[in-house]
């Protein structure tokens, strides 16, 4: 599961880990209030070779993106990427290929509008993609997953809850993560005892740029000096997701998307701080009484 931005959110693939078949690596959700979300399957490859290799990789990546159809047959848009990273230290190049389409939107069905504040539902979506029938004999199904209108209400909630679970993982709050997962996604893994020896736990709170953030603290060595890292979320955003107010969280993130992002040195914290539009934060600082030269290097990072 992945991070979220203002206009897009990502969700885990619909296929279970036990099924050995192609599937998208991510779903990007582009949303606007009052309109059905546009969900785009993403697939990517990478290489340390040349542009010839990069030209071939979108073809193999397309099998992953096309493994899920949302709406009408063969109308789901997709994004394919091939990242070229030379071994000689040259410039990294990202090749992108867009597959246009009129599908990908989970239009609400009458009487089945999604309630994002409800706990995620564990649906059993039938396997296989079914091409349209153009004659007396129905064509053979194609391997993959086909999200059809009857599944739209469930599918709309999947990216929202997966994103919420990912953000809660960033704070280390196991019980808040479990609130947004189904049993098949591993909900029970986060409902037991939370202990620092077993996992990152929500055990820290800091004021950064005048705002309260809650999350998890970590200490490690960075080329010798001991460094403290803090990952967390804006306290107000955290409270919303912890109690399941996903709709209000999404509205808050959209309203603050232009003012929240920040990347600079916070003198009060004593190190660089990165705040994202979704309310998540990551901060670094040297532990007290560390070498001043190391502090200068951290400030200039």
Flag whether pLDDT at 15 surpasses 50.
no
**Tens digits of residue pLDDT in 40-79:** 999 999 999 888 899 899 988 999 999 999 988 899 999 9
Task: Name every residue whose Cβ is closer than 8 Å to that of residue 299 and which is 6 or more positions away in sequence.
Answer: 265, 271, 272
The DSSP annotation for 110-167 comes to: TT----TTSPPP---PPEEE-PPP-SSSPPPPEEEEEE-GGGHHHHHHHHHHHHHHHH
**Tens digits of residue pLDDT in 72-116:** 889 999 999 999 998 887 889 999 999 999 999 887 765 456 788
Q: How high is the pLDDT of residue 127?
A: 73
| Sequence ranges of the domains in the chain | 8-123+144-165, 188-300
Span 3-11, average pLDDT: 36
Residue 66 near residue 43, CB atoms below 8 Å: no
CA distances from 196 to 36, 215, 218, 239, 242 (A): 41, 13, 10, 22, 20
Confidence of residue 11 (pLDDT cuts 50, 70, 90): very low
Q: Which residues pair with 26 in a beta bridge?
A: 42
Residue 38 near residue 30, CB atoms below 8 Å: yes
Percent of the chain at pLDDT above 70?
83
Nearest-Å Rg of the Cα atoms of the chain is: 22
Flag whether pLDDT at 25 surpasses 60.
yes
Residue 37 near residue 159, CB atoms below 8 Å: yes
**Tens digits of residue pLDDT in 140-175:** 888 888 988 888 888 888 888 999 998 888 888 888
**Tens digits of residue pLDDT in 214-233:** 998 888 887 788 899 999 99
Flag whether pLDDT at 19 surpasses 80.
no
Flag whether pLDDT at 27 surpasses 60.
yes
CA distances from 16 to 62, 124, 127, 164, 185 (A): 19, 11, 11, 20, 9
Please tell me which residue, 35 or 283, carries the higher pLDDT value. 283
């Amino acid at each position: 599961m992945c991070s979220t931005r203002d206009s897009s959110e990502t969700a885990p693939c619909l296929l279970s880990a036990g099924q050995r078949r192609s599937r998208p690596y991510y779903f990007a959700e582009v949303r606007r209030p009052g309109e059905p979300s546009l969900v785009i399957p993403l697939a990517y490859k990478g290489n340390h070779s040349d542009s010839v290799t990069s030209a071939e990789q979108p073809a193999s990546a397309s099998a992953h993106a096309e493994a899920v159809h949302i709406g009408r047959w063969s109308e789901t848009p997709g994004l394919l990427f091939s990242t070229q990273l030379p071994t000689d230290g040259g410039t990294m190049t990202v090749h992108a290929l867009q597959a246009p389409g009129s599908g990908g939107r989970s239009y609400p069905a009458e009487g089945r509008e999604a309630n994002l504040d409800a706990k995620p539902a564990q649906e059993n979506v039938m396997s296989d993609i079914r091409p349209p029938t153009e004659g007396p004999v129905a064509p053979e199904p194609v391997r993959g997953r086909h999200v059809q209108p009857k599944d739209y209400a469930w599918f709309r909630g999947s990216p929202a809850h997966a994103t919420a679970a990912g953000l809660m993982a960033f704070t280390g709050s196991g019980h808040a993560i479990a609130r947004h997962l189904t049993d098949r996604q591993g909900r029970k893994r986060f409902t037991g005892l939370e202990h620092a020896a077993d996992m990152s736990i929500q055990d820290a709170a800091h004021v950064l740029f005048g705002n309260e953030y809650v999350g998890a603290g970590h200490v490690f060595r960075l080329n010798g000096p001991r460094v403290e890292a803090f990952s967390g979320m804006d306290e107000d955003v955290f409270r919303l997701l912890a109690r399941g107010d996903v709709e209000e969280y999404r509205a808050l993130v959209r309203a603050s998307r232009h003012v929240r992002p920040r990347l600079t040195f916070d003198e009060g914290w004593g190190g660089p701080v990165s705040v994202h539009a979704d309310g998540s934060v990551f901060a670094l600082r040297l532990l007290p009484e560390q070498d001043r030269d190391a502090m200068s290097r951290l400030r200039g990072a």
